């Protein structure tokens, strides 16, 4: 039985897929230069406790709506890692870059990398099997509003493309009301594909950055 008592525990994951899409492996983890580092979340370590605490913070409760207990978070990690749809990751930062070397290297954000063609956004454009989307939850408020996360996002696409040669484009799908992340996408030159109602209660702003200009996604009618 899954978390919700349904056939699969990841509600955005699509299961009725063409064979080519279904056979696509999970995204490979990109490598980042200092001061950033990215690692896969460990369901058997302290990461479920870390995420449970992060997602209970007011700014993430509102934007993510995943104020789950530790066991549900652990099960979510396990479900993601058992499949090929997405990978849960933890982003860390060396605070020396902010002039606070005494803080050392600290975990600052939760990142999910996922196959866009296996996700609900795959219905919004002509998704290629290798396309990769991402979600970000910045937990450490000390890095918010300082350009730190925009700088990371601006380097992320190149790192993802390097680690995933089959990836033609990267996608971001924040809530259309999340002006902070939308401004970040605009600032670093990501393309606004459009706004879409993916569910009765969810309207997103779909952003993309292509590997080449010819890979820019075109929304479906």
Sequence-separated (6 or more) residues with CB below 8 Å from residue 78: 43
Position 146 scores a pLDDT of 87
Tens-place pLDDT, residues 130-150: 999 999 999 998 998 888 988
Q: Give the integer Cα–Cα distance in Å for 127 and 114.
A: 13
Position 9 scores a pLDDT of 64
- Enter the pTM of the model: 0.92
Highest-scoring range by mean pLDDT, 125-134, 169-178, 179-188: 125-134
Kindly list the catalytic residues: 173
Residue 14, in any domain of the structure: no
Residue 13, in any domain of the structure: no
Residue 19, in any domain of the structure: no
- CB of 180 within 8 A of CB of 205? no
Residue 139, in any domain of the structure: yes
Contacts 24+ apart (CB under 8 A), 77-81: 77/41, 77/42, 77/43, 77/47, 77/48, 78/43, 79/2, 79/3, 79/8, 79/9, 79/10, 80/10, 80/112, 81/40, 81/43
Q: In terms of residue numbers, what domain contains 125?
A: 25-215
Residue 6, in any domain of the structure: no
Q: What is the mean pLDDT of the chain?
A: 92
Quickly state the pLDDT bin for 3 (edges 50, 70, 90). very low
Residue 9, in any domain of the structure: no
Question: What does the block give as tokens for 2?
Answer: 């899954």
Q: Mean pLDDT across the stretch 152-175?
A: 96
Quickly state the pLDDT bin for 181 (edges 50, 70, 90). confident
Residue 138, in any domain of the structure: yes
Position 7 scores a pLDDT of 39
Which secondary-structure segment (H or E) carries 160?
A: helix 148-163
If one counts the domains in the chain, the total is 1
Position 6 scores a pLDDT of 35
Q: Mean pLDDT across the stretch 96-106?
A: 90
| Domain of residue 98, CATH code | 3.40.630.30
Sequence-separated (6 or more) residues with CB below 8 Å from residue 67: 55, 56, 61
Q: Mean pLDDT across the stretch 188-210?
A: 93
Q: Give the integer Cα–Cα distance in Å for 22 and 165.
A: 18
Quickly state the pLDDT bin for 47 (edges 50, 70, 90). very high
Q: Mean pLDDT across the stretch 213-219?
A: 95
Share of the chain above pLDDT 70, in %: 96
Sequence-separated (6 or more) residues with CB below 8 Å from residue 64: 55, 137
Quickly state the pLDDT bin for 116 (edges 50, 70, 90). very high
Tens-place pLDDT, residues 80-94: 999 999 999 999 999
Ramachandran region of residue 62, left (φ > 0), alpha (ψ -120 to 50) or beta?
alpha
Residue 179: is its pLDDT beyond 90?
no
């Amino acid at each position: 039985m899954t978390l919700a008592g349904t056939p699969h525990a990841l509600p955005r994951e699509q299961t009725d897929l063409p064979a080519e899409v279904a056979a696509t492996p999970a995204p490979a983890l990109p490598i980042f230069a200092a001061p950033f580092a990215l690692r896969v979340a460990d369901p058997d370590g302290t990461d479920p406790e870390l995420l449970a605490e992060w997602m209970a913070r007011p700014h993430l409760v509102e934007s993510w709506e995943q104020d789950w207990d530790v066991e549900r978070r652990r099960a979510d990690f396990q479900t993601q890692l058992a499949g090929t749809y997405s990978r849960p990751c933890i982003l860390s930062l060396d605070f020396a870059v902010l002039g606070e070397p005494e803080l050392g290297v600290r975990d600052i954000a939760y990142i999910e990398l996922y196959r866009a063609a296996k996700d609900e956004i795959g219905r919004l454009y002509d998704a290629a099997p290798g396309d990769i989307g991402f979600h970000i939850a910045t937990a450490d408020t000390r890095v918010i509003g300082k350009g730190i996360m925009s700088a990371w996002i601006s380097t992320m696409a190149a790192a993802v493309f390097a680690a995933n040669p089959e990836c033609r484009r990267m996608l971001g799908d924040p809530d259309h009301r999340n002006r902070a992340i939308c401004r970040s996408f605009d600032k670093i030159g990501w393309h606004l594909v459009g706004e879409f109602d993916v569910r009765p209660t969810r309207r997103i702003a779909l952003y993309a950055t292509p590997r080449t200009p010819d890979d820019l996604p075109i929304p479906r009618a």
